Amino acid sequence: MLNDFVDRCVWAADLSPEQRERVRRAMFVREYTQGDYVCHKGDMAEHWLGVLEGIVKITTVSPSGKSVTFTGVPTGGWFGEGAVLKSEIRKYDVMALRRSTIAFLPRETFQWLLDTSLPFTRFLLTQFNERLGQFIAAVEYERLLDIDSRVARAVSSLFNEHLYPGIGNTLEISQEEIGLLAGISRQRANQALKVLEQQGLVRVDYGVIQVLDLDGLRQYGE
């Protein structure tokens, strides 16, 4: 399973056979159930993390107990490269929203790829650029948009082909999980999804959401 996962990674496509083999030897996976923490705020960033299967949320909790979710990362997504590059502690928690399998690539191998693979470096530049745009947009819609529009943006952010290659237009995700990503209750997420479905932007089934108009979701509420 791990070998297949490496072969499916966009960033591994242009690695040499020797580089890919070193990645396979260094990488390992761990299983998490719903609500488990993959890593904690304050942990040293020793690994670059990828979602082999499942979905996680990147979040933090203030000293007063207020929780803020930065983003969700579905199957195929990689995250945490900034902290790994700077060899610093993580400034967020990562929690599994469902049963998830997470791949860990040690920092030493990550740095070695940066030193030896120009395509890998280009991939990371694109990753940083897309992530920056995602977070800027998240701040904007958190402050300026109504709840229905925030749900639309939370859903559309999970269908970023640069960050989550091969995601397609359908994702297994519950209304509760969407609520967690948007910072609202499951009931309010359900109401917002019904509005988006009536607008012809998504189709919602039990535990599954299909995007019918991605550009419409990204622009909803403007």
Residue 153 binned pLDDT confidence (cut-offs 50, 70, 90): confident
pLDDT in tens, 155-199: 888 888 888 877 788 888 888 888 877 778 889 999 999 999 999
Task: Give CA separation, 152 vs 15, 122, 124, 190, 217, in Å.
Answer: 36, 30, 27, 12, 5
**DSSP string of 101-127, one letter each residue:** EEEEEEHHHHHHHHHH-HHHHHHHHHH
* pTM for the full predicted model: 0.80
Residue 119 in this model has a pLDDT that exceeds 90:
yes
Domains for the chain: give ranges and CATH numbers. Answer: 2-118 (2.60.120.10), 145-219 (1.10.10.10)
Residue 90 confidence (pLDDT): 92
List the one residue out of 173, 206, 183, 184 whose CA is nearest residue 54. Answer: 173
> pLDDT tens digits, residue range 52-80?
999 898 888 877 777 777 788 988 899 99
